[in-house]
Structure 1
């Protein structure tokens, strides 16, 4: 990417940050609604809004105070205006680069007018205060060559010269950025209009007149800006309608998910959120009193304060989520580098971690907590997130272990890298549990962290056991028919433990919902957990168990090949191409390993060689004769 393209990308990100600050400030103010604690006081002068509502609710409806209705009316108006402000800020955030530039030029024009007005008002106030009612004006003093009088004005001349330079610069910038008509004569008038109040304060004019001059000087540029706004109303309405039709067509053709993903990339949302949170953190750091020197205690106190204030609104939590996503993404990349893998599916670890952290913040009510409790809850959420991150790392290393053991990979350093990561996934949770249980009393949060940690240990042990079995099988010279059973039992144990922990976490969450901190978000997440992690897993596990049991029963009903038959055949299994020391005989007189045929029956009931039906069952449950005279008869059910 070339340097100009990078600069344009940086500018595009910076231009989308101010709407987030506007939304953040609205959330900080509670969207105009009165706060229950430490916030706005009630209109009747009672201690707070809660007490006022209780006192009013005890009265009949017809006895409610008029001031009470007035208060709620204005609160409702503030809430509606705040919501409209959020919608307008979001719309500005989603604009294209061209329209976003127009909006900022319009806002910049208004800002220049108000800065010019504030500078003129301040200058005239200082001049009138220095001259007083009985002194000559600055122009009269200069014409009388009274330089001593000019020097006695306490730096007013320097203030005037500074205001002249500022107003001239503001006039030049306004003439470049304003969106009004650009007539040559109007462009030349802008410096005179902006400088008029400062020039008039030199004349012997009444002070009451001078105090109103900045207002008249701001009328002309404000009228031009207002004219542009009114004349552009129809164009704005047309652009909104065209955008609605455009996105409606895109959603119809490509789907809502594809459109949202495209807009997410176009707006570069993660980078904008990260920039917003970093700038917000810098602003709050500058507002705090910086510690003198490098005292560790002061730095830790400052970091704690910044973390507390960095998640006090929903938009701030979004920004922190983006930072966490960025960090988790590089943690995943680090483990991929250690394991020498480059799977695209594993790179979603940052997105999944961000979603998990934001859900934790919502269901624990992070933004509504007191500062000290918020810091404790934030640390606990980080601990839960990192234990979940261990599960994501296991999802990266587990396929690699299976691949290394199944492919007989002779690369020793790749095995060592994978085993090192597995060792970390066992040692770190054990150390974490030892520290937490020795320093914290038992609580629902500690039980949840412990369940996640023990679960990841069990999953890693299961992966290592299966990895060891596959390595042993790789160095065996004969076919290991019991391998599939051992792998099934180990995985069944791991899945059972994981299922039990899922049930435990459900009841732990139910306890939190009922007795500690309820909420619709927590209840919804519990419903999702109960459906996907309990019900669906139980149903899938039961289906796998029944499928395996059915296949085992079918295989056991087939006759076993004798040693003489295997010696006469002197062939390999047509499924695994391994030598047959034991085999099952199908009704079509074909020989296969029992375990191989059982895996085949998971897919279909036809013979792998001749595609004949392996099992038949008549209405009266006939017993067919075996393909060999020396074999016992078998019952073959019809699976068609």
Structure 2
């Protein structure tokens, strides 16, 4: 009744009467129902308490709360509540004759929408409902992104119900940290624009996480359906152009501070990641169009990804330096310092550790592969078989200590995971002298004099091999 009275334009006095009447009537109905069903209610409460105690003891509090959340459709109720509230506020800003409301209307539709969103975040319940709406909207956008890329080939497993809740939680966290509930309507409308930029940047990053594996799968699998490639490339083009447009828009209309620097850095990182994925995609497509396999493809892809990681690291370091500058020479706050430390740990320290470990792993694998003997054309002809890792023809190969042939690139990839032979599971490099021995053989110009004839290779056991070495 109060909602209907508000929508129909009742005066303030009549609205108060309608509200009081609806409250008293609802209270009387509750008391009447409780009086007639008191014994049943007590039994139901006792049974519910026992079931809740057993569930908490058996499954734990978090699964029980999630099950309760889903069983009563609390998120759907919050969504409906917020949509109705937003519709009422939006209607009032447009149709009201109040001077304060007409002031927002005269500024344009965007200001009216921001003011309506701000008015829907005046209480903790309405703020929570707004975050639920953000989650559902993000879930819809991400699901449509998946459908746009895969079409009707989507499986039920692709409908991940956890999608979108990251954006909703981000909105709730930042709104609490910035004291959104205590601001005036004009301040809330201004802050709401910044918060929505943060949510949109997080949403774009989530979209990229969906697009990236699909894009690489299309290129690596040599899929010939050009419509799928066109959709993926078109979406990637949007995902690297739109963040740059957002950054330009922010710099034009807002004064740069720490929060806006975080938004801009996030947008730039997303654009860099998308461009890096497109470069790798183009390399795979170029390799598929070649008549012969591109043996150095792995190296080129590695350096392309390395350049992307370096740019990401430099952007993260720049944000940290800017944050420390603001904390030292500008206005210090506990929230900004906490976010800066978290950003420094996850986006700087962990990126540095991950990049260094990846570099060392690759460097060790390259050294091990280079220490192995390089097969001659005569040995490859006598071997007359494919690489056991990629099952492709070998025009060049490395010979392991256990006398197996592999592509250098394939063997290097294998060494990222294991240090044993894929065929016999022996150690690929048994001693450090192997590299020196190989270098001496090459320098002497004798080639691979130990294995000049493939017939000399015997696939004996470790015990037999040790006897041969002793002889």
The TM-score normalised by the length of structure 2 is 0.76
Distance verdict in 2 for CA 1:508–1:367, change over 3 Å: farther
Distance verdict in 2 for CA 1:611–1:113, change over 3 Å: closer
1:37-61, CA deviations, whole angstroms, 9 ceiling, x for partnerless residues?
xxxxxxxxxxxxxxxxxxxxxxxxx
Correspondence 1:407-556 to 2 at 5 A: 407-509=221-323, 515-516=330-331, 518-519=333-334, 523-556=337-370
Distance verdict in 2 for CA 1:625–1:439, change over 3 Å: closer
Counterpart for residue 180 of structure 1:
35
Post-superposition shift, 1:510?
5.1
Post-superposition shift, 1:374?
2.1
Measure the CA separation in 2 of the matches of 1:372 and 1:349. Answer: 32
Distance verdict in 2 for CA 1:328–1:408, change over 3 Å: same
Measure the CA separation in 2 of the matches of 1:325 and 1:113. Answer: 32
The match for 1:306 among 112, 116, 126 is 116
Distance verdict in 2 for CA 1:448–1:178, change over 3 Å: closer
The match for 2:177 among 351, 356, 363 is 363
Measure the CA separation in 2 of the matches of 1:298 and 1:442. Answer: 23
Aligned residues: 414
Pair 1:274 & 2:129 matched? no
| Contact 1:606-1:612 within 8 A present in 2 as well | yes
The match for 2:70 among 256, 265, 284 is 265
3-state SS of paired residue (2:388): coil
Post-superposition shift, 1:246?
3.8
Pair 1:331 & 2:331 matched? no
The match for 2:448 among 631, 634, 637 is 631
Post-superposition shift, 1:252?
4.1
3-state SS of paired residue (1:357): helix
Unpaired segments ≥5 residues, structure 1: 1-107, 115-169, 183-227, 634-640
3-state SS of paired residue (2:417): coil
Measure the CA separation in 2 of the matches of 1:297 and 1:615. Answer: 76
Distance verdict in 2 for CA 1:396–1:500, change over 3 Å: same
Post-superposition shift, 1:584?
0.7
3-state SS of paired residue (1:479): coil
Counterpart for residue 373 of structure 1:
187
| Contact 2:138-2:164 within 8 A present in 1 as well | yes
Counterpart for residue 9 of structure 2:
none
1:462-513, CA deviations, whole angstroms, 9 ceiling, x for partnerless residues?
1111001111111222222211111111112222222333333344455666
Distance verdict in 2 for CA 1:397–1:505, change over 3 Å: same
Counterpart for residue 616 of structure 1:
430
Measure the CA separation in 2 of the matches of 1:302 and 1:447. Answer: 26
Counterpart for residue 318 of structure 1:
128
The match for 1:111 among 9, 20, 24 is 24
Measure the CA separation in 2 of the matches of 1:279 and 1:371. Answer: 19
Measure the CA separation in 1 of the matches of 2:325 and 2:160. Answer: 34
3-state SS of paired residue (1:470): helix
Q: RMSD value over aligned CA atoms?
A: 3.7
Measure the CA separation in 2 of the matches of 1:623 and 1:286. Answer: 79
1:381-433, CA deviations, whole angstroms, 9 ceiling, x for partnerless residues?
11121122211111111111111111111101111111111111122223333
3-state SS of paired residue (2:247): helix
3-state SS of paired residue (2:396): coil
Post-superposition shift, 1:291?
3.5
Post-superposition shift, 1:452?
1.7
The match for 1:397 among 197, 208, 211 is 211
Measure the CA separation in 1 of the matches of 2:421 and 2:220. Answer: 26
Measure the CA separation in 1 of the matches of 2:370 and 2:107. Answer: 73
Measure the CA separation in 2 of the matches of 1:340 and 1:334. Answer: 10
1:154-181, CA deviations, whole angstroms, 9 ceiling, x for partnerless residues?
xxxxxxxxxxxxxxxx8xx79x934336
3-state SS of paired residue (1:340): helix
Post-superposition shift, 1:256?
3.7
3-state SS of paired residue (1:180): helix
Post-superposition shift, 1:565?
1.8
Post-superposition shift, 1:345?
6.6
Measure the CA separation in 2 of the matches of 1:267 and 1:113. Answer: 21
Distance verdict in 2 for CA 1:494–1:504, change over 3 Å: same
Distance verdict in 2 for CA 1:291–1:453, change over 3 Å: same
Post-superposition shift, 1:553?
1.0
Measure the CA separation in 2 of the matches of 1:110 and 1:426. Answer: 53
Pair 1:254 & 2:59 matched? yes
Distance verdict in 2 for CA 1:243–1:302, change over 3 Å: same
The match for 2:106 among 285, 294, 297 is 297
Measure the CA separation in 2 of the matches of 1:314 and 1:525. Answer: 23
Pair 1:582 & 2:391 matched? no
| Contact 1:291-1:298 within 8 A present in 2 as well | no
Measure the CA separation in 1 of the matches of 2:227 and 2:308. Answer: 28
Distance verdict in 2 for CA 1:545–1:274, change over 3 Å: same
Correspondence 1:223-234 to 2 at 5 A: none
1:95-130, CA deviations, whole angstroms, 9 ceiling, x for partnerless residues?
xxxxxxxxxxxxx9993498xxxxxxxxxxxxxxxx
The TM-score normalised by the length of structure 1 is 0.57
